[in-house]
Amino acid sequence: MDHVRYCAHCGTPAKDGRFCAKCGNALVPSTPNPVHGHAEALLSPNHPQQPPQPEPHAAQTGGLHLGHPSWSKLWHRPGRVGITVAVGLIAIIGTGGFLVQHAPTRSVIGALSLEDSDTISGLSTNDACSGGGGYDDIKDGAQGVLEDGDGSTLATSTLSPGTFDGLACVFHFTFEGVPKAGFYVLRIGHTTRGDLRYSHQAMVDQDWFLDLSLGE
């Protein structure tokens, strides 16, 4: 009697080969089941259990099992997009639903020369100085205000300590973060002293530097 092998998975008989021609599983020596015609595998130390069956969802093509793509990839890819979108939405919501663009600003620098004889009398070059008499408001720390044509404050500054340059007592000031305006109104010291007005074009022509003088 020819030695016949039976597939332990589907019961198909085979005389040659090591694998079932129908389902591809390994063949084991066995005897046919007289009732069902299937194989009863001889599972013993000499006949180890057949290898694990392929997963039901995997398609078998030319010996290669083509299963579904990795679930980890399917999960993480949209997750990254979701995080990016969420961060973008939070950024927009945090600014009231609009993308905020800040208007450009610049600095306005200036010098104030106090040419008052009572102030500079008896001083030597590089001596510290301060306004006197009717100019006692012109001194270290005096406030300067820069407004637009409608009276809205654009920036504030303070005068530096005064220094005698041989001709006048000179103070310096800087206005930071000044936005664009049609007109600029400058006031330093007492409000009764009045203010100075400059158009935007005048500020451009002066390279945003104000050279001021007071006194005789």
pLDDT tens sequence across 82-141: 444 444 444 444 555 455 567 799 999 999 999 999 899 999 999 999 998 889 999 999
Domain end among 66, 91, 120:
66
Tell the residue number behind the tokens 């009276």, with chain if given. 151
User: What pLDDT is stored for residue 13 in this prediction?
Assistant: 75
Q: Do 87 and 38 fall into the same domain? A: no
- What is the Cα gyration radius of the chain? 47
Question: Residue 144: is its pLDDT beyond 60?
Answer: yes
pLDDT at 2 over 80: no
pLDDT bucket at 10, cuts 50 / 70 / 90: confident
* Maximum Cα interatomic distance, the chain, rounded to a whole number of Å: 138
Q: How confident is the model at residue 16 (pLDDT cuts 50, 70, 90)?
A: low
Q: Provide the whole-model pTM.
A: 0.54
Q: Which residue, among 132, 208, 206, 211, has the nearest Cα to 171 in the 3D structure?
A: 211
159 and 176 housed in the same domain? yes
From residue 208, give the alpha-carbon distance in Å to each of 104, 106, 141, 142, 151.
14, 9, 22, 21, 20
Please tell me whether residues 110 and 211 are part of one structural domain.
yes
- Tokens read off for 99: 């993308």
Q: Do 131 and 201 sit in the same domain of this protein?
A: yes
Residues 112 and 184 in one domain: yes
Residues 120 and 211 placed together within one structural domain of the fold: yes
Number of domains in the chain: 3
Which of the pair, 153 or 40, is modelled with greater confidence?
Answer: 153
Look up the domain containing 51 and give its range. 1-66
Do residue 187 and residue 139 come from a single domain? yes
Residue 159 sits in the same domain as residue 112: yes
Query: What are the angstrom distances between the C-alpha of 184 and each of 123, 125, 175, 208?
Result: 34, 33, 12, 11
Whether residues 188 and 127 share a domain: the answer is yes
**200 and 115 both lie in a single domain:** yes
